[in-house]
Chain A
Amino acid sequence: MAGVTLSNIRKDYGALAAVDDVSLDILDGELLALLGPSGCGKTTTLRMIAGFVVPTAGTVKFGEREVTRVPVHKRNVGMVFQGYALFPHLTVAKNVEFGLKVRGWDKARIAARVTEMLRWVQLEALAERQPRALSGGQQQRVALARAMANHPDVLLLDEPFSALDAKLRTQMRTEIRELQRQAGITSVFVTHDQEEAMAIADRIGVMNHGKLEQLGSAEDLYKRPVSRFVAGFIGKCNFIEGRVTGPGQFETANAQVLRFSGEHAGGPAALCFRPEHATLAPSGAAGTSSTVRVTSVTYLGPVTEYEVVSEAGDKLLVAAPSSGNVASPRAGDKVSLTWRVEDAFVVD
């Protein structure tokens, strides 16, 4: 097994850069999620790792082996496709043995490996079924067994859970994650669902407009997003517009001075904090609070969300535990929105 290294890869379609100078080290045995909205370049990146798309510039390496221009069938990747792409004319067992057969394995070895793979995904009983006679979750397990049969260097998963209903999706992602860990295979999976990425990936690469915006663990991305896009895409986030005037010092549009933690070079920026890191109180300390008017209250069971608007006109959101607020504010109330300085950060 080996890791995957992307160095300055780029893919242009005419004047449009689908992937723009992305460098990425995927560690041996790691499960990395490429996350972003549709059209962000995550699928093109995955297809460059697979070999379906040749980069306009840059290199792709599996361990020490450069594969940038190696065609798909010589790369030794395993891929699980959106909708699984099982061969409709072949049984489950024949689907799994396909990659071994075209590589010329002998019969005894193929039979042993197919049995092993089907046992791994717990589908031995269904070996002779046609794919269309299987449920979505079973089809996905067949797709995984098929992709892993030939001991690939890298496992690639393209929106693997999008064809499943919500309940099965949660179950399958835990299952796939467990199988991936057992196999210890370097894996990349593409998704537009941030919750899914956070739930199972070791690290997440957030992509937008063809660029890799940030790479890190779910916690890194949530606590220290490097850009407004990442802050807004991973969970919900409040933005107060203004400018950084000194170390840890931020001035809002209406000249209120607020404090934040972390570094910033200075200039126009937005001070951010998460809705659940803010509270509503009768009054707050200068620098970590702002006077706001409550515009709406939404009871969501465990939490209640308050939409508020600051004196400078910033629309903000507060999520507070429902039971905690004895006398909870109501729409129209004028209150103080407060947060802790360590929860406040600044993005461009």
Chain B
Amino acid sequence: MGGVSFGRVAFIALVIAIFTFVIAPLLTIIWASFFVDKILTFPPTGYTLSWYARAWDLEEFANGFLMSLKIGACATVASLAIGVPAALAIERYPFPGRETVRQFLLSPMYVPAIVAGAAVYIYFIEVEILTNFQLAATFTGLVIAHTLVALPWTLRLVCASLLSANVVSEEAARSLGANALQTFFYVTLPIIRPGMIAAAMFSFIASFSDLEKSLFLVGPGKTTLPIAIINYLEWNLDPTISAVATVQIVIIAAALIISDRFVKLGKAF
């Protein structure tokens, strides 16, 4: 048997090509965030950290970053508050129409985000006309829209962890004298906790990186980070944008690593 077969070499080459295709843009962005040159040039004439400082000094980025963090946190909490009870009802209590409810709650994932964003905007305007209560271009409005972005992720992940958790554990708790609430808090919740953490992380990522749903809903002083990036890119192209993007990449990667420690993501889908 001599050497490695051609098929194996081709396979490895293909894998490397795919990984390069996925990772090269990310690495380039991170690399470019340290370039000294204001106009992107290869190779750079030197390296600096000053773009990070400049990004933080620019009000729209600093505010956008904080706004995205706040909206992400609120949307995550809201999607857990809706998604966990919904997942419990769907997986544990076989009521008629539960598949419909499941698909309904997953539906924000199916609709193109830009269309859904426009629809949410129109809905908010109608609500405002009827009740005089402003939702568009407010923090509340953005949280509602981002909850829609996050909810399908929460529902999926919590449903998956309920499916893998043994129903018999809950029956065992009942037979030992635990009522429905005790069973939930002492048995079900601890068993699905890893799934809930993963759900929280994914919800946060989905909200934090959302551009399309927010596009119609932001207002002056109420801009999320991805939209601040778009606005800036319209007139500028310097490493500031790379620095901002790098921060975003690091935050999302951290959330992914945390959730993978709790739930093997491959199992959830």
Instruction: Enumerate chain A interface residues (CB-CB to B < 8 A).
Output: 50, 52, 71-74, 76-79, 81-83, 85-89, 98-99, 102-103, 146-147, 150, 156
Chain B facing A: main interface SS: helix
Task: Given A85-B166, A89-B191, check contact A103 B177 (CB 8 Å).
Answer: yes
Complex partner residue of A73 from B169, B179, B191, CB under 8 angstroms: B179
Q: Chain A residues near B175 (CB, 8 Å)?
A: 50, 72-73, 77-79, 147, 156
The CA-CA distance from A99 to B176 in the complex, in Å, is: 5
Q: Chain B residues near A102 (CB, 8 Å)?
A: 173, 176-179, 182, 186
A219 to chain B minimum Cβ distance, whole angstroms, is 33
Q: Chain B residues near A156 (CB, 8 Å)?
A: 175
Shortest 10 CB-CB distances between A and B: which pairs? A99-B176, A85-B168, A85-B172, A79-B175, A72-B174, A102-B178, A89-B190, A102-B182, A73-B177, A103-B177
Chain B, Cβ-Cβ closest to A103: B177
Complex partner residue of A87 from B169, B177, B182, CB under 8 angstroms: B169
The CA-CA distance from A150 to B234 in the complex, in Å, is: 71
Is B113 interfacial (CB 8 A cutoff)? no
Q: Chain B residues near A99 (CB, 8 Å)?
A: 176-178
Q: Chain B residues near A82 (CB, 8 Å)?
A: 168
Complex partner residue of A98 from B166, B171, B173, CB under 8 angstroms: B173
Are B176 and A98 in contact, with the CB atoms below 8 A?
yes
Is B249 interfacial (CB 8 A cutoff)? no
The CA-CA distance from A264 to B17 in the complex, in Å, is: 83
Is B187 interfacial (CB 8 A cutoff)? yes
**Cβ contacts B164-208/A at 8 Å (1 or 0 each):** 001011011111111100100011001100000000000000000
Complex partner residue of B176 from A52, A89, A146, CB under 8 angstroms: A146
Task: Given A89-B191, A99-B177, A150-B177, check contact A79 B172 (CB 8 Å).
Answer: yes
Interface size on B, residues (CB 8 A): 17
Q: Chain B residues near A98 (CB, 8 Å)?
A: 173, 176, 178, 186
- Of B166, B175, B179, B191, most buried by chain A (CB within 10 Å of CB) is B175
Instruction: Enumerate chain B interface residues (CB-CB to A < 8 A).
Output: 166, 168-169, 171-179, 182, 186-187, 190-191
Are B191 and A88 in contact, with the CB atoms below 8 A?
yes
Q: Chain B residues near A87 (CB, 8 Å)?
A: 169, 172-173, 187, 191
Are B174 and A73 in contact, with the CB atoms below 8 A?
yes
- Of B168, B171, B177, most buried by chain A (CB within 10 Å of CB) is B177
The CA-CA distance from A76 to B175 in the complex, in Å, is: 7
11 contacts between A and B (CB under 8 A): A52-B171, A73-B175, A73-B178, A83-B168, A85-B168, A86-B169, A87-B169, A88-B191, A98-B176, A98-B178, A102-B173
A87 to chain B minimum Cβ distance, whole angstroms, is 6
Complex partner residue of A85 from B171, B178, B179, B190, CB under 8 angstroms: B171
Q: Chain A residues near B173 (CB, 8 Å)?
A: 87, 98, 102
- Of A76, A82, A88, most buried by chain B (CB within 10 Å of CB) is A88
B174 to chain A minimum Cβ distance, whole angstroms, is 4
The CA-CA distance from A102 to B170 in the complex, in Å, is: 13
Q: Chain B residues near A89 (CB, 8 Å)?
A: 190-191
The CA-CA distance from A102 to B187 in the complex, in Å, is: 12
A94 to chain B minimum Cβ distance, whole angstroms, is 10
Task: Given A87-B172, A88-B191, A89-B190, check contact A76 B166 (CB 8 Å).
Answer: no
B175 to chain A minimum Cβ distance, whole angstroms, is 4
Chain B, Cβ-Cβ closest to A90: B190
Chain A, Cβ-Cβ closest to B173: A98
Q: Chain A residues near B179 (CB, 8 Å)?
A: 73, 102
Q: Chain B residues near A81 (CB, 8 Å)?
A: 168, 171-172
Q: Chain A residues near B186 (CB, 8 Å)?
A: 98, 102
- Of B168, B176, B177, B182, most buried by chain A (CB within 10 Å of CB) is B176
Additional pairs, 12, CB under 8 Å, beyond known A73-B178, A89-B191: A73-B175, A73-B179, A79-B172, A83-B166, A86-B169, A87-B191, A98-B178, A102-B176, A102-B178, A102-B186, A147-B175, A150-B177
